[in-house]
Amino acid sequence: MQSVIISSPALLSSHKVSLLVRPPRLPTTKMASTFKSDVEITHIGTATAILSINGINMLTDPFFSPAGTRGLTRSASVLENTESPAMALHDLPVIDAVLLSHENHFDNLDELGRRLLDGRRVFTTPDGAKNLAPRPAVHGLHPWESIETKISGKSFQITATPCVHFPGHECTGLVVTTPDFGETNGLPNAIYFSGDTVYIKELAEMRRKFHITIALLNIGAAFVTPEPGADPLQITMCGKQAARLFRDIEADILVPMHFESWKHFTEGREALRSAFEAAGVLDYVRWLEPGVTQKII
């Protein structure tokens, strides 16, 4: 297995969120038509979805516990879900790979989800790979690091992207490319799974490296209290931030996830819809329905 390092731009000295939205290129039907593969998404709940690419199934952030389950993260925050996932483990098709943004938060990987990791290719953070050892097919990637791999006989490149989530905890976004996707204006067409992050300017670097055709964004404006007595901390994007990121990376299609079913989420579909409409990106949004397979391209 060969790993290729992609050089990273200078890290930001501050991750303060600015909501000023510049008007870069927005997608057109002609641009989206350069994507050469069939993509379907089946949303299961929260950040869990089956991403089916020409029949190869990648699962994002596996969570399958029923409503009312409470979990303790390593930050000592107690999380509780209010809705059961739309599918159980026994309902799943064959899963060929797992895109795992982080392994130490219960709402992104529960004990049931961990059962899926054995014997499958998993792409996650370096800490996540260490904590999930000795599974030999778990790959930990640093920001802007890429790995060339074969999944069900097809060649893919998986590239990690930066996240700012819970202080001191690793989290990663993941960009998926394959020669089968084709190119747009000399850049490889790609699918981007944001993982849990607030808006950061560094993510705009993607538009120099990839043509992001589909952006799966974990949103919901989740807040947690990092320690007793501390102020609540925002750890995922709100709708305004997601709209700005969508514009920054010049993506074609925005697929919102991670905004329902948990008490620490503060923006649901209607609030997100309003934010997307105000930012002028609502026409590019594909809403998912739990348990329903939707053809995206």
Q: Which domain holds residue 185?
A: 24-289
Cα–Cα dist 230/181, whole Å: 46
Beta bridge partners of 79: 71
Structural domain includes residue 36: yes
Q: Which residue has the tokens 């000592």?
A: 76
Could you give the count of Cα atoms lying within 13 Å of 289 in the half-sphere of its Cβ? 4
Structural domain includes residue 163: yes
Question: What stretch of H or E contains 244?
Answer: helix 239-248
Residue 230 has a pLDDT of 84
User: DSSP string spanning 161-194?
Assistant: E----STT----EEEEE-GGG-EETTEEEEEEE-
CB within 8 A of 181, min separation 6: which ones?
Answer: 35, 36, 37, 188, 189, 190, 191, 213
pTM passes above 0.75: yes
Structural domain includes residue 16: no
Structural domain includes residue 246: yes
Angle (CA) 163 190 2, round 5°: 80
Q: For each of the chain's 297 residues, which pLDDT tens digit applies?
A: 333 332 333 333 333 333 333 444 555 444 556 898 999 999 999 999 999 999 999 999 999 998 888 765 544 466 778 889 999 999 999 999 999 999 988 888 999 999 999 999 999 999 999 999 999 999 999 999 999 999 999 999 999 999 999 888 899 999 999 999 999 999 999 999 999 999 999 999 999 999 999 999 999 999 988 777 888 899 999 999 999 999 999 999 999 999 988 888 899 999 999 999 999 999 999 999 999 999 998
CATH number for the domain spanning 234: value is 3.60.15.10
Cα–Cα dist 219/288, whole Å: 13
Cα–Cα dist 206/15, whole Å: 17
Please give the tally of structural domains in the chain: 1
Structural domain includes residue 4: no
Structural domain includes residue 3: no
Structural domain includes residue 168: yes
Structural domain includes residue 19: no
Which token pair is 226? 């990092």
